[in-house]
């Protein structure tokens, strides 16, 4: 890795010299930006930083360069940064810019070795690798951004742009997040009171121990009476397979054979028309020889039967057992020295698959995967899945059969974000046909999951981000705009938005976020120019409205709204609006104290504490 970094240092170097064209041997640079691994056209912090540096360099007849580091397993390492700092020193750097918390340890360990270079560390304060206590280094100037003012601008804009039901999706463990939230409340209240408009706000922090939100949900296979169906229907009877039911003409359904009996393998499908005057050939199946195939329902009832034949030579069984080893969950018939793909039963609530155990001499391709291949089968084999309690939060799903279904619908279990969930409905009772799938969370709201086909008896969906469910509930309560400032799980709000309605708004803070309704941006470029103009090592400076270190990506096309925003921005810059700060990042404590003082006539602040239900503190 060291050799690769050394060789590629020159490849990662891009010089920007404003005094004129640079000669190959002239790599001297006054100001150096070390990016976080991304390019200077990333539309985010690196681009903002570079624009500030290049602008300052041009105005002050200085030269500037940036390095785009080669990451080590996706991370900025101290060793990695030191190489670029060393190269910068060799080329006469006077200032080195480090953008973000990823450089905090490097600033602490490396900067002191180069006392003649001034380091500017953005949105972080130096600290050691094993202790986050702030450390002040004589040649490092740190910049933090006023997240309280950032949140205030977000709340103010949300209300003057017409949103009266707001949500704050925060992170209890983040001081920046809870400070953004406190500002959001006060900005929304300021706008509500000035307009005389009632505004409500739901406050929820996904990682708070006070939030006992129930992420479980139920999926129901729903049926309807055939006599109530307005379209013409036909009955499909699948023998030794899945797919039986009553369907409308033109339905395209999947037919799957049951596992073959011992010593046998699937052979072919036999089809028979059950409607007088319609030939068997009119039963339109995609393949007679594939275990899983499609049927296009034509104008006839039909029976489709899976048939099996003897395995040639010696055959063996591969049994996938239940977790306790007491029952066979699935059975596979395999020829001598053959192979098969196996899958573990879905995990029970709050459990996840860990590994396979077997006493048989078979080859398991990946013993730690719930979906794997077993090969070199030369004896009957049993494989037992082992499950463990999940350290990662899971979704617990219960699949139930509604009225009109006969038996158990499958898919219940414990799932992680990104898992594919397969649902199969129970066979309809006589006189009924499958209608659709319904899903509700623990609070009787739709979960927002996107099924491949919710009107088909078997379907799949991808388990979404767990915390999107929290935002879903806010939207279900009528919230039209959610603020995510400083929250490391901010993407959950966007996931929820895409599931619900594109017209719903997500308001962001920090890095410019293209999908957000508006973002209160931390302007790295402006902050860097201020630090370069007046460098003070060993200090922390706050970028805010007074330094023009914050700005909104979208205000409004309405001139009156723009004027109101500009007026409030100016008032914050001049210190005419005093804000109550959060103590120790304790967002719920802020909610409690805010409601006790009741400073707003028009804003109602709700805190989510028990069972995800919103109520006044």
Asked whether the predicted pLDDT for residue 598 surpasses 90, the reply is no
pLDDT at 41 over 90: no
Determine the average pLDDT of the residues in 18-31. Answer: 57
**C-alpha span between 577 and 580 (Å, rounded):** 10
CA geometry: angle at 255 spanning 295 and 274, to 5°? 60
- C-alpha 589: how far from chain center: 28
The two three-digit tokens of residue 267, written as one number:
């052979």
Instruction: Name 151's Cβ contacts closer than 8 Å, sequence gap at least 6.
Output: 179, 180, 181, 182, 183, 184, 185, 186, 187, 483, 485, 509, 520
Given a cut of 50, is residue 488 above it in pLDDT? yes
CA distances from 436 to 238, 450, 453, 464 (A): 20, 13, 9, 20
The region, left, alpha or beta by phi > 0 then psi within -120 to 50, assigned to residue 29 is beta
**Helix ranges, 413-554 (H):** 468-476, 491-500, 524-533
* Kind and range of the H or E run holding 343: strand 338-343
Bridge partner list, 462: 420
497 near 506, Cβ under 8 Å?
A: yes
Q: Report the 10 Å Cβ neighbour count for 93.
A: 25
- Cβ atoms 143, 531 nearer than 8 A: yes
Provide, rounded to the nearest whole percent, the portion of the chain with pLDDT above 90: 68
What is the Cα–Cα distance from 317 to 380, expressed in whole angstroms?
5
Band (pLDDT 50/70/90 cuts) for residue 422 is very high
Distance CA 503, CA 526 (A): 32
Q: Is the pLDDT of residue 613 over 70?
A: no
pLDDT at 582: 81
Q: Three-state SS for 194?
A: helix
Q: Which residues contact 538 (CB under 8 A, 6 or more apart)?
A: 136, 137, 138, 139, 140, 141
Does the pLDDT at position 493 exceed 70?
yes
Alpha-carbon distance 304 to 316, whole Å?
28
User: Residue 23 pLDDT more than 50?
Assistant: no
Q: Which of 176-185, 277-286, 383-392, 555-564 shows the lowest per-residue confidence on average (mean pLDDT)?
A: 555-564
Helix/strand/coil for 225: strand
CA–CA dist 384, 360 (Å, integer): 11
Q: Check if the beta carbon of residue 156 is closer than 8 Å to that of residue 190.
A: yes
DSSP conformational letter for 182: H
364: left (phi over 0), alpha (psi -120 to 50) or beta: beta
Q: pLDDT-based confidence at 183, cuts 50/70/90?
A: very high
Tokens of 72: 């080590």
Token pair listed for 243: 């797919």
Q: What are phi and psi of 592, to 5 degrees?
A: -60, -50
Mean pLDDT of 527-546: 96
Name the DSSP letter for residue 610: B
pLDDT at 547: 96
Instruction: Give the integer Cα–Cα distance in Å for 163 and 167.
Output: 10
pLDDT value at position 387?
Answer: 95
Per-residue pLDDT band at 115 (split at 50, 70, 90): very high
Residues with Cβ within 8 Å of 206's Cβ and at least 6 positions away in sequence, in order, are 169, 170, 171, 172, 467, 470, 487, 489, 492
Is pLDDT above 50 for 610?
no
pLDDT higher at 391 or 179: 179
- Asked if 225 contacts 431 with a C-beta cutoff of 8 angstroms, the reply is yes
What does DSSP say about strands 405-406 and 427-428: parallel, antiparallel, or unpaired? antiparallel
The whole-angstrom separation of Cα 254 and Cα 445 is 30
Question: Distance between CA atoms of 329 and 384, rounded to whole angstroms?
Answer: 10
**Backbone dihedral angles phi then psi of residue 134, each to the nearest 5 degrees:** -60, 130
> Pairing between strand 302-310 and 233-239?
parallel
Count Cβ atoms within 10 A of the Cβ of residue 349 and give its class: 0-12 exposed, 13-18 middle, 19 or more buried: middle
Burial class (CB in 10 A: 0-12, 13-18, 19+), 574: exposed
168's tokens:
């704050």
**Contact in structure between 309 and 265 (CB atoms under 8 Å):** yes
Q: How far is CA 43 from the centre of its chain?
A: 20
**pLDDT for res 608:** 67
pLDDT at 89: 95
- In whole angstroms, give the CA distance from residue 278 to residue 249: 15
Contact 98, 118 (CB under 8 A): no
- Calculate the average pLDDT of the chain: 89
Residue-wise pLDDT for 336-367, tens only, equals 888 999 999 999 888 999 999 998 889 999 99
Q: Average pLDDT for residues 100-105, to the nearest whole number? A: 93
Helices (H) and strands (E) in the chain, counts: 11, 38
Average pLDDT over residues 491-496: 93
Q: Provide CB contacts within 8 A for 112, sequence distance 6+.
A: 137, 138, 139
CA angle 605, 609, 614 (to 5 degrees): 50
**pLDDT value at residue 492:** 93
* Residue pLDDT, tens place only, 232-251: 899 999 999 999 999 998 99
Collapsing DSSP to helix, strand or coil, 95 comes out as strand
pLDDT band (50, 70, 90) for residue 455: very high
pLDDT over 70 at 2, yes or no = no
Q: What is the arithmetic mean of pLDDT over 564-586?
A: 89
pLDDT at 9 over 80: no
**Rounded Cα–Cα distance for residues 145 and 215 (Å):** 34
pLDDT 10s digits, 53-66: 999 999 999 999 99
Predicted confidence (pLDDT) at residue 333 exceeds the cutoff of 90: no
Lowest mean pLDDT among 27-41, 100-114, 516-530, 585-599: 585-599
Among candidates 223, 227, 221, which has minimal Cα distance to 429? 223
Residue 586 is predicted with a pLDDT of 67
| 42-94: pLDDT as tens digits | 888 999 999 999 999 999 999 999 999 888 777 889 998 999 999 999 999 99
């Amino acid at each position: 890795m060291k050799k690769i970094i050394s060789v590629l240092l020159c490849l990662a170097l891009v010089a920007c010299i404003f005094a004129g064209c640079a000669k190959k041997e002239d790599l001297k640079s006054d100001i150096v930006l070390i990016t976080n691994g991304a390019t200077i056209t990333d539309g985010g912090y690196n681009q903002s930083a570079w624009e500030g540096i290049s602008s300052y360099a041009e105005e002050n007849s200085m030269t500037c360069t940036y390095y785009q580091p080669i990451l080590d397993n996706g991370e900025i390492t101290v060793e990695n940064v030191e190489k670029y700092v060393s190269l910068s020193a060799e080329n006469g750097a006077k200032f080195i810019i480090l953008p973000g918390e990823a450089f905090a340890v490097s600033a602490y360990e490396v900067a002191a070795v180069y006392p003649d270079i001034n380091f500017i560390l953005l949105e972080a304060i130096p600290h050691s690798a094993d202790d986050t206590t702030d450390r002040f280094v004589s040649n490092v100037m740190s910049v933090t951004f006023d997240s309280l003012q950032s949140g205030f601008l977000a709340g103010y804009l949300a209300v003057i742009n017409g949103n009266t039901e707001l949500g704050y999706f925060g992170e209890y463990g983040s001081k920046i997040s809870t400070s953004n939230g406190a500002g959001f409340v006060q900005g929304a209240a300021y706008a509500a009171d000035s307009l005389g408009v009632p505004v409500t706000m739901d406050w929820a922090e996904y990682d708070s121990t006070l939030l006992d939100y129930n992420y479980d949900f139920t999926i129901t296979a729903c049926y309807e009476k055939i006599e109530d169906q307005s379209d013409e229907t036909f009955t499909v009877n699948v023998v030794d397979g899945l797919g039986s039911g009553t369907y409308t003409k033109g339905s395209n359904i999947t037919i799957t054979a049951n596992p073959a009996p011992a010593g046998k393998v699937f052979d072919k499908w036999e089809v028979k028309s059950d409607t007088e005057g319609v030939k068997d050939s009119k039963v339109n199946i995609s393949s007679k020889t594939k275990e899983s195939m499609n049927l296009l329902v034509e104008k006839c009832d039909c029976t489709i039967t899976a048939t099996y034949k003897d395995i040639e030579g010696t055959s063996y069984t591969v049994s996938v057992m239940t977790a306790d080893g007491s029952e066979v969950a699935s059975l596979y018939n395999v020829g001598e020295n053959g192979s098969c793909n196996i899958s573990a039963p879905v995990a029970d609530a709050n459990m996840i698959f860990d590994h396979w155990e077997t006493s048989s001499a078979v080859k398991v391709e990946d013993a730690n995967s719930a979906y794997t291949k077993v090969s070199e089968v030369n004896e009957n084999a049993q494989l037992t899945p082992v499950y463990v309690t999940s350290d990662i939060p899971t979704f617990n799903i219960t699949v139930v059969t509604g009225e009109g279904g006969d038996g158990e619908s499958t898919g219940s279990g414990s799932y992680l974000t990104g898992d594919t969930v397969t649902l199969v409905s129970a066979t309809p009772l006589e006189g009924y046909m499958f209608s659709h799938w319904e899903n509700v969370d623990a609070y009787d709201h739709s979960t927002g999951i996107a099924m491949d086909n919710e009107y088909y008896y078997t379907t799949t969906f991808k388990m979404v981000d767990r915390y999107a469910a929290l935002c879903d509930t806010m939207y279900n309560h009528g919230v039209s705009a959610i603020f995510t400032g400083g929250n490391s799980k901010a993407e959950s709000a966007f996931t929820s938005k895409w599931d619900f309605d594109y017209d719903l708004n997500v308001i962001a803070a920090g890095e410019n976020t293209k999908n957000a309704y508006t973002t209160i941006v931390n302007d790295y470029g402006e902050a860097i120019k201020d630090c370069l103009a007046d460098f003070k090592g060993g200090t922390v400076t706050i970028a805010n409205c007074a330094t023009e270190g914050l700005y909104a990506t979208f205000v409004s096309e309405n001139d009156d709204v723009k004027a109101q925003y500009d007026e409030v921005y100016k008032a914050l810059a001049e210190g005419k609006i005093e804000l109550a700060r959060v103590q120790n990042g304790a967002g719920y404590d802020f909610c409690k104290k805010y409601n006790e003082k009741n400073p707003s006539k028009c804003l109602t602040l709700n805190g989510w504490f028990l069972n995800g239900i919103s109520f006044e503190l």
